[in-house]
Structure 1
Amino acid sequence: MNRTMITATNTLGQLQHKMDMIGHNISNIQTTGYKRKESYFNDLLVQEFNNQKQRNEIGRLTPLGIRQGTGARISQSQLVLTQGSIKNTERSLDVALEKEDLFFKVRVADDQGENTRYTRDGAFYLSPVSNNPEQMMLVTGKGYPVLDEFNNPIVISGSIENLTFSKEGQLKAETDNGAVQTFNLGMISIKKPQFLEQIGENLLGLPANFDDLGIDQEDIMTALEGGLRQDISMRQGALENSNVDLSKEMTDLMNVQRQYQFNAKSVTMADQMLGLINGIR
């Protein structure tokens, strides 16, 4: 395989990953609180051939020698946390976050056990507790428990008459006997989204190899507790739309498709050139 084929095939695989990412963004354009992902390319190893003997060319504007690369790769893919538009729903269990770095904490049970995950999807529901039907648990649309600031599930006792979410992230539940129960929602502020990965179902989490990255969790996110809760801003009776711009995603998709076609054509041309060389008698 010659150099042209190597360069093109290396780039083709990375362009396929880029197309998959764009397709994932487009498919989640209607997902509440979804954050699009953006990727960036870097050149792979570049080799320079200094094949020119004359070094004093008058008026030359380009570098001396020939530079040949081996393709491109995705150097980084990260979440774009820009704020999505907010739509009013007038539903008491719908909550929209009004700052782009805020996330709810939820508990998810999977193959790795119970883990804390993060989401901006504020479409909450009440689900009866299995061992006590007189208690209701605040859950996400997928049934995952929403956590309070102490990482405990939010469980409300009694017959609920009214639910109120404050702007500072406090849930107040009024029951039919006049009692009032309050809970501070578990919230975090994400400072370095590039260290988080999408794990499905509109959830974010730390990567499986987080311990090998050499970075503390406090450098990535901050738990909003105590005096930091004044940084929380949310709105009841509303939901945040995804921040996916369909026109931008379609433009990026067409550009990537053209790049894919160009590299595929390079493979075809290289194969034809090899055929001509092999056909020489």
Structure 2
Amino acid sequence: MSRMAIQAAVTMGQLQNKMDIIGHNMANVNTNGYKSRQADFSSLLFQQIDNLSNPEVENVRLTPDGIRVGNGAKLGHTNINLSQGTIADTGRSLDVALLADNHLFQVNVTENGITETQFTRSGTFYLNPLDDGTVMLTNKQGHPVVGENGPIIFADDFDSISFSNNGTIQVTRNGNTEVEGQLAIVEAIRPRLLEAAGDNNLRFGNVEGVQFNQGEIIQDVAANQVQLKSQALESSNVDIAKQMTELTLTQRAYQFNARSISMNDQMMGLVNQLR
């Protein structure tokens, strides 16, 4: 197979991955708290031709130490845009919207007996009854929402629950209102190091060859710096017009690479017919 066809085939496979990301963004345009993803490409430059057979021997040739040729393109990394979406009032007391970019709620997700802290911008919360007569604040998947002291649990004898603008949770019992919890809000210092975990959550990503401490990616936000709006939800920040443009350009690039393979096949056929 010729080098031209290899480059086109490799690039087509990566362009398909980009179309999958765009399709995922468009499918979640109405998902509260969803953050759009963007695919960035890089060239594959790894094949060397005409290298020196013995690099230790000087003055063997005057040309550079080999010629590098591209072999298509690959999906370098996927960026997550954590900018704020539109805030919409809901009137529901357990709906909360974050008002600062890169701020995230925390939830504890348990899979196969292992509990992992994940992050989300979705502030749709529920009260989940426990066996001991208490209730726990959870997300819509039933995972505990993390507070300053771990999962947020209340005695099941309250009249109402509300959130203040700084993330404190106020519980009213018999006409008396007291603060009984505080949401643990964090800020993504390096959003690129977060990856999608499913259910509109994010987790720490793996960067090949680089080690990061969690404190270099996520930092706690002090209570006096938390900005919330209660009885409201944040809409998705997906720009549908931009996504349609990206999809059209990606499909056109895919078609060009497919045409390159077709033309290469025709050229090889003409060469084989020469006498």
Alignment TM-score, normalising by the size of structure 1: 0.86
CA distance in 2, matches of 1:38, 1:194: 11
Counterpart selection for 1:195 from 172, 193, 196: 193
Structure 2 equivalent of residue 264 of structure 1: 258
Q: Is the 8 A contact 1:7 1:70 kept in 2?
A: yes
- Bigger mean CA offset, 2-11 vs 173-182: 173-182
Residue 222 (structure 1) aligns with: 219
How far did residue 48 of structure 1 move?
9.9
3-state SS in 2 of match to 1:186 = coil
Shift of the 219–112 alpha-carbon distance from structure 1 to 2, 3 Å rule, reads: farther
2:158 corresponding residue in structure 1: 160
CA contact (8 A) 1:158 1:176 kept: no
Aligned to 1:148: 147
Alpha-carbon deviation of 1:69?
Answer: 2.5
The alpha-carbon distance between structure 1 residues 211 and 188, as it changes in their structure 2 partners (threshold 3 A), is: farther
- TM-align CA RMSD: 2.2
Aligned positions of 1:89-108 closer than 5 A: 89-108=90-109
8 Å contact 1:94–1:238 — kept in the other structure? Answer: yes
Separation (CA, whole Å) in 1 of partners of 2:71 and 2:93: 56
Alpha-carbon distance, 1:229 to partner: 1.9
Q: Distance in 2 between matches of 1:274 and 1:25?
A: 40
Alignment partner of 1:186 is 2:184? yes
Q: Deviations over 1:238-274 (max 9, x none)?
A: 0000100101001100000000000001001111111
Residue 96 of structure 2 contacts residue 123 of structure 2 at CA under 8 Å; is this kept in 1?
Answer: yes
2:171 corresponds to 1:173: yes
Where does residue 74 of structure 1 map in the other structure?
75
From 272, 277, 280, the counterpart of 2:271: 277
Deviations 1:133-189 (A, max 9, x none): 3x1111111111111113x11111032212121111111111237463420111101
Instruction: State the distance in 2 between where 1:149 and 1:213 align.
Output: 30
Residue type at the aligned position of 1:217: Q
SS of alignment partner, residue 151 of structure 2: coil
Distance in 2 (CA, whole Å) between partners of 1:210 and 1:262 is: 32
Q: Decide whether the 8 Å contact of 2:28 with 2:34 is kept in 1.
A: yes
Letter in 2 for 1:239: L
CA contact (8 A) 2:168 2:179 kept: no
Indicate the residue corresponding to 1:132 in structure 2: 132
Mapping 1:20-59, distance limit 5 Å = 20-45=20-45
One-letter amino acid of the counterpart of residue 231, structure 2 = G
1:111 to 1:210, Cα distance in 2 relative to 1, 3 A: farther
Q: Is the 8 A contact 1:159 1:176 kept in 2?
A: no
1:156–1:181: 8 Å Cα contact kept in structure 2? no
Query: By how many angstroms is 1:112 displaced?
Result: 6.3
Letter in 2 for 1:263: N
Which residue matches 2:84? 83
Deviates more, 1:97-106 or 1:157-166: 157-166
Partner of 1:70: helix, strand, or coil?
strand
Return the alpha-carbon distance in structure 2 between the equivalents of residues 251 and 197 of structure 1.
Answer: 24
Q: Which runs of 5+ in 2 are unaligned?
A: 50-66
Q: Give distance in 2, aligned partners of 1:101 and 1:272.
A: 52
Question: Which segment is superposed worse, 259-268 or 271-280?
Answer: 271-280
TM-score by length of structure 2 reads 0.88
Q: Which runs of 4+ in 1 moved over 6 A?
A: 46-49
Partner of 1:254: 248
- Which one-letter code corresponds to 2:162 in the other structure? T
Percentage identity across paired residues of the two chains: 39
Amino acid at match of 1:93: L
Please give the secondary structure, in 2, of the residue aligned with 1:248. helix
Q: Aligned equivalents of 1:120 and 1:276: distance in 2? A: 58
Shift of 1:37: 0.6
SS at match of 1:90: coil
| In structure 1, distance between residues paired with 2:241 and 2:253 | 19
1:158–1:67 Cα change, 3 Å:
closer
Aligned mates of 1:211, 1:217 — CA distance in 2:
16
Give the whole-Å Cα distance in 1 for the aligned partners of 2:91 and 2:71: 55
